[in-house]
Structure 1
């Protein structure tokens, strides 16, 4: 909760500099909107995505994403992400051992010891094509494709982005339907998985420059490539807060895992506690800080 207060404080400091909103701003923590960068424009974004707390011990997982985004045409934008990660875990599993999402623990690691990881992870290539514009059409629609390459992680992600604006664009309702094929090295093992995410949320501009709302997520994972072998399902919900000026913007968000998890395999059922799933899958809390600077 100290981290949540710190992120909100960062956004609150922005209130001293009230100016018109920036193009290409992102009012949501994890949900994408259907608008695209105008042709010939650029934007830098820095993401700090933090997962914390499992059933026991200590667990902090920080993913950093640094992106340069480019508007190519009135319908297409592209961008490059540089992804890195920091993890600090100690006896955070239900049995008192050390593990958790993205830990990638070596086979010879003492499972009762503290584990730390800090490394550059991968490069992602964002591609967004807008089919309809949420500012002028009844509903905004965009297609998103993002391949990711790294020495230990590879992923191909697809998004269908829907956006509907209300009340002269003060209220934004955005929904993302996401699927991704993953290939990850975990020690000496290679894990292949297919993920499906449904994300939806609202953001309301309640005064000049300031917006607030909430985001919901249902995550489902399948073993291997395809949707034949269900692995688990988890639900998340939390608020977001956004501030934008002409020259920069900042968004903070928090979502918490709800006690609605389901495990469809024995190993997944074994890491569910109080109806929340942990193990190598999820945490109790997730925080996001995003800062954008258009050029």
Structure 2
């Protein structure tokens, strides 16, 4: 195998822009690294975008692109669910990484076609147990990467003083899937607060490009991430908000995070979320 800086890496799929971020970091240390993915409407830019229309053929087009170009690379880093196309990767005997990001493990009784990969990673620590259940082993937790360029702290101390002075706190929620993120709990929690005389400026951000989502996040006094009973993790939204210095509400399993992150941890219910928001609002003067 080539020396690391001479390696040519191909990332396939770009879930949550993880592939794009890893590829950029690899290029910054001198490696050749590119991303090929279907360019869905609100996904980030990639090196080799595959047209999304018609949707039923998009993934097939991506595979045909890989057929024509895989010989140019020394390492395949595959993100997400893999199907019969794995048989081709195995025949090529290219060193491969399989990187799981969520539903492809959580929602599957059996994950097929993984033997082509020499290494397996998961993006959140809860996925390790799911990987073991479907015989993906060994597997390692690789935390989601975030480039801090363009992500800088807001003046959260001043915002806290404004909330303490009576301004309704701006609560931002950015669900890619309302069921998965527990959005219904947040909507009901806000109604609970309003019934108690606590006004909240709730802003739900969805269906926008990543750059616009970040701009909307910067407007937040509080960011609410995962608050669903089916999930006990924090994700990319939490990481970005914490990097900005914005308080984050989330439901996590402390056992998964030996070094507890600076989150406002809540129970995954409307009442639990309402209590967590109240705690943060009461401490507004101490933000920052």
**TM-score for the superposition, normalised by structure 2:** 0.23
More strand by share: 1
Using CA pairs under 8 Å that are at least 6 residues apart, name the structure with larger relative contact order, 1 or 2. Answer: 1
**Max Rg structure:** 2
More helix by share: 2
**TM-score for the superposition, normalised by structure 1:** 0.22
